[in-house]
Amino acid sequence: QSKAIQATDTTRTICTYCGVGCNLEVSTSNGEILSIQAPYDAEVNQGHTCLKGRYAFKFYDHPERLNSPMIKRNGEFEKVTWDEVYDYIANKLTGFKEEFGPDSMAGISSSRCTNEENYLMQKFYRAVINTNNIDGCARVCHSPTALGMQRTYGTGAATNSIDDLKDTNCIMVIGANPTDAHPVTGAKLKQFAMKSDNVSIVLDPRRTELARYATHHIALRPGTNVAVLNMMMYYIVSEGLVDETFIENRTEGFEDFKKELLSIDLDHIEQISGVTRDEVRAAAMAYATAPNAMSFHGLGVTEHSQGTFTVMQIADLALMTGNIGRRGVGVNPLRGQNNVQGSADMGVQPHQGAGYLDVTNDEVNKKYNEFYGVEVPKHIGYKIPEMFDAALEGKLKSIWIIGEDVVQTDPNTQKVIKALEATDLVIVQELFMTETAKYADVILPGASFLEKSGTFTNGERRVQAVRQVVEPIPGTKPDGQIIVDIMNRMGYNQPDYTPDGMLEEISQIVPFFAGIKWERLGINGLQWPVAADGTDTKILHTTEFKRGKGKFEFNAWEETVELTEHAKDYPYILTTNRELEHYNCGAMTRRTANEQILQDDYLMIHPNDAKTHLINDGEYVCLESPRGKVDVKARITDEVKQGILSTTFHFPEIMINNITGDVHDSEAMCPEYKVVAVRIRKSKGK
Ligand code: SF4
């Protein structure tokens, strides 16, 4: 006989998965979570969530949760007390600092954590260890967005809000599959695309769900974004569709840019991209002639050797057509993790501290020194790939990784493993024994988003309150408190973690957080910059750019070295994608009922390629790259073109990153997950 359970309490918080930042209403009874609902009064999601936000929460009390600090001795993890682990870490790190110097240590913070925790983690490295060796997952996803938009506009964040879809006439979605990766925003984009008067342009090698509804789908070859966007701009300029007044008043560098742009070779671009000039011209005309046009981009833009240049082109397109600084326009990166925007805002980057202030600048350095009460270094620290290189060169003695499974999700898995093995002290702060945690020397059991309070910043710069729903499971602690405890154990006086106390500190050092106070956040949060009186900002760059004028810089297309070096022996191009049911390494979603919906990674392969290699649907394909090989089940589909393959990477049993490579974005060092040279054959399986 079933017993009715009465909900006794509800708490409003924010989803832990993607950068849409949906507001959730969590019902609990006797400290146990019963269900999650989508509240109607939330500006972000207005009564909607996807199946991750609404149903994939049971990981929080899964029996596999790490529930004690552990130290590895003789190859085995031993449970220890918090006091013991804090002493162990403090002694080790102090020893490394004295013997090898502060730059022998590095930290990787987490975009799953709150702003306050990210702020503390970068503060720990800058003020306690005295190094700028701090980085986060943005390095492997949207670091080119931050850098590219900063170069062109001065600010590396979305210019508008998703709600502006009500006021636009045209959307251009580049390298993003939002119906799977950002489902609530994806649904809004799909609804927009389905209305007959609206114009929608999708630039993507795959015929994604959104591409099927789009008025223009440019199915370009992976790795040719820069070439095709130059062609789009070529037609806008050569056909006189630029906004001359906007260019004159608000931008610089256009004449030099135009000269180089008009000399591009259209025949060559058609040849390398696999799309025709007529298709590209039609899309360019549609974007340039729309009264209001918004662009959205994802990792299909950034995870390339020319990722930063592509972001700059998207920003240039908005500049030359005057699509910036009002409702219904702008450049709107679709941020991946729930708080990837916030972690960068808080200074989880080796070149910019809290508030995007340049660590090499004398004035900034003085400001940080005074604020933190210690000497903060002025030289730029290691980016994540440089941390691994330093480890392999014997220069890195310690790394502390919070909530990031670098073994499963960073490229070239075997290299990452060797780097961790070469590091004397690997500290991993996690919910589960992830692939990375297995290589740890010390485990710190952190708390999930349901067990702590703080703020997340979504892809619209919206800082929202994350409110504790249940007590942390026994043996674990909120991540912010763990960092504070270690700071104090190493002699730095940092007050205990409270969201209001931390926001108070952050508002004094991060200029655009000046007016953000815990009690002001309410249900819908505040979009930064927030003035001291609490006034927030829906639209950026309305009268001037952060850098003064918007800057045009021409960049020519270059083939990635992944293909110039390896295409001859590895003739297929593999790209990567996500599935709706799972989230990145799957550590959380694989421990929920979502596991029953999708239980394996799969490879999309065109019917003609499958026929060539005698591969039937559901059979295993061996993918081999210059780094290694993996076996993945085939899904035969014309969603990909002939010669192009696409795979998910949610399951450690497959470990797709065994075959991805070391090519990075030339400017921001974001790995090129989206172009991997491979050869294929039918195989018997794992
Ligand atoms: Fe969470 Fe993103 Fe789904 Fe919203 S769309 S419920 S933020 S995963």
**Is residue 298 a contact partner of residue 311, using CB atoms and an 8 Å limit?**
no
Q: Does residue 319 fall inside a structural domain?
A: yes
Contacts of 493 (CB under 8 A, 6+ apart): none
Q: Does residue 208 fall inside a structural domain?
A: yes
Residue 289 or residue 650, greater confidence: 289
Q: Which of 16, 107, 671 is nearest to 349 (CA)?
A: 107
| Same-domain status, 244 and 323 | yes
| Same-domain status, 352 and 328 | no
| Same-domain status, 507 and 408 | yes
CA distance 477 to 485: 11
What average pLDDT does the segment 138-166 reach? Answer: 92
End residue of a domain, out of 334, 353, 386: 334
Residue of minimum CA distance from atom 3 in ligand 1: 50
Q: Which atom of ligand 1 is nearest to the CA of 186?
A: 5
Q: Mean pLDDT score of the chain, rounded to an integer? A: 93
pLDDT digit string, tens, across residues 352-381 = 999 999 999 999 999 999 999 999 999 999
pLDDT digit string, tens, across residues 223-256 = 999 999 999 999 999 999 999 999 999 999 999 9
What pLDDT score was predicted for residue 686?
64
| Same-domain status, 135 and 148 | no
- Which tokens is 279 given? 């298709």
**Is residue 397 a contact partner of residue 425, using CB atoms and an 8 Å limit?**
yes
Q: How confident is the model at residue 653 (pLDDT cuts 50, 70, 90)?
A: confident
Contacts of 551 (CB under 8 A, 6+ apart): 151, 152, 251, 252, 253
Beta-carbon count within 10 A of 679 CB: 15
- Which tokens is 628 given? 């290694």
- Which tokens is 673 given? 């997950």
Pocket-forming residues, ligand 1, beta carbon under 6 Å: 15, 17-18, 20-22, 45, 49-50, 52-53, 182-184
Residue of minimum CA distance from atom 6 in ligand 1: 53
- Cα separation values, 170 from 207, 214, 322, Å: 19, 10, 14
Beta-carbon count within 10 A of 5 CB: 12
CA 184 to centroid of ligand 1, rounded, Å: 6
| Same-domain status, 406 and 364 | yes
CA 463 to centroid of ligand 1, rounded, Å: 16
CA 128 to centroid of ligand 1, rounded, Å: 35
| Same-domain status, 174 and 319 | yes
Q: Does residue 645 fall inside a structural domain?
A: yes
Q: Does residue 214 fall inside a structural domain?
A: yes
**CATH code of the domain covering residue 45:** 2.20.25.90
Q: Does residue 312 fall inside a structural domain?
A: yes
Pairing of strands 572-576, 676-683: antiparallel
| Same-domain status, 236 and 218 | yes
**Is residue 540 a contact partner of residue 522, using CB atoms and an 8 Å limit?**
no
CA 139 to centroid of ligand 1, rounded, Å: 22
| Same-domain status, 370 and 476 | yes
**CATH code of the domain covering residue 571:** 2.40.40.20
Q: Does residue 3 fall inside a structural domain?
A: no
CA 19 to centroid of ligand 1, rounded, Å: 7
- Cα separation values, 414 from 68, 577, 626, 677, Å: 28, 21, 12, 17
Peptide bond into 529 cis (omega under 30): yes
- Using DSSP's 3-state secondary structure scheme, residue 22 falls into coil
| Same-domain status, 21 and 74 | no
| Same-domain status, 231 and 109 | no
Q: Which of 13, 14, 16, 17 to mutate to test the pocket of ligand 1 (most atoms within 8 A of CB)?
A: 17
Q: Which atom of ligand 1 is nearest to the CA of 38?
A: 6
Count of structural domains, the chain? 4
**CATH code of the domain covering residue 178:** 3.40.228.10
Residue of minimum CA distance from atom 1 in ligand 1: 53
Task: Fill in the DSSP letter of residue 621.
Answer: E
What average pLDDT does the segment 385-401 reach? Answer: 97
Strands lying side by side in the sheet with 134-135:
76-79, 70-73, 442-445, 425-430, 398-402, 105-108, 134-135
Q: How confident is the model at residue 2 (pLDDT cuts 50, 70, 90)?
A: very low
Q: Which atom of ligand 1 is nearest to the CA of 51?
A: 3
3-state DSSP of 93-108: HHHHHHHHCHHHEEEE
pTM: predicted TM-score of the whole model, two decimal places? 0.94
Q: Which of 20, 179, 185 to mutate to test the pocket of ligand 1 (most atoms within 8 A of CB)?
A: 20
Q: Which of 50, 462, 583 to mutate to test the pocket of ligand 1 (most atoms within 8 A of CB)?
A: 50
pLDDT digit string, tens, across residues 323-332 = 999 999 999 9
- Using DSSP's 3-state secondary structure scheme, residue 165 falls into helix
CA distance 162 to 43: 10
Residue of minimum CA distance from atom 2 in ligand 1: 18
**CATH code of the domain covering residue 511:** 3.40.50.740
Give the structural domain span for 496: 70-141+338-527
Q: Does residue 580 fall inside a structural domain?
A: yes
- Using DSSP's 3-state secondary structure scheme, residue 312 falls into helix
Strands lying side by side in the sheet with 23-29:
9-14, 23-29, 32-37
